[in-house]
Amino acid sequence: MKQQGKEEKLIRVLLIEDDLMVQEVNRMFIEKVKGFKVIGVATNGTVGRQKVKELNPDLVLLDIFMPKEDGLKTISKLRQEQLDVDIIAVTAANDTETVKKLLRHGVVDYIVKPFTYERLKQALEQYKDMYDQLNLNANFSQDKLDVVMQQKDNSKQSELPKGLQLMTLKQILDYLEKIDCSKSAEEIGSEVGLARVTVRRYLNYLETEKKVEMELTYGTIGRPIQLYRLIKKENEVSS
CB-based contact 149:157 (threshold 8 Å): no
CB-based contact 63:71 (threshold 8 Å): yes
Q: Could you tell me the pLDDT band of residue 199, with boundaries at 50, 70 and 90?
A: very high
Of 118, 59, 52, the closest CA to residue 83 belongs to: 52
The model carries a pTM of: 0.57
pLDDT in tens, 1-12: 555 444 558 899
Predicted pLDDT at 203 = 93
Q: Could you tell me the pLDDT band of residue 239, with boundaries at 50, 70 and 90?
A: very low
Which residues are CB-neighbours of 1 under 8 A, at least 6 positions away?
58, 84, 86, 130, 131, 134, 135
Average pLDDT of the residues in 111-135: 83
Predicted pLDDT at 219 = 63
What percent of the chain is modeled with pLDDT above 70? 79
The verdict on domain 143-236 having CATH code 1.10.10.10 is yes
Secondary structure of residue 114 in the 3-state scheme: coil
Predicted pLDDT at 180 = 87
Domain 11-136, second-level architecture? 3-Layer(aba) Sandwich (3.40)
Average pLDDT of the residues in 71-87: 89
In the chain, the DSSP E strands lie at 11-16, 36-42, 59-63, 86-91, 109-112, 183-184, 212-218, 224-230
More confident residue, 170 or 52: 52
Of 226, 232, 223, 163, the closest CA to residue 200 belongs to: 226
Every domain of the chain and the residues it spans: 11-136, 143-236
Query: Distance between CA 97 and CA 46 in Å, rounded?
Result: 23
The pLDDT of residue 237 is above 90: no
Mean per-residue pLDDT over the chain, rounded: 81
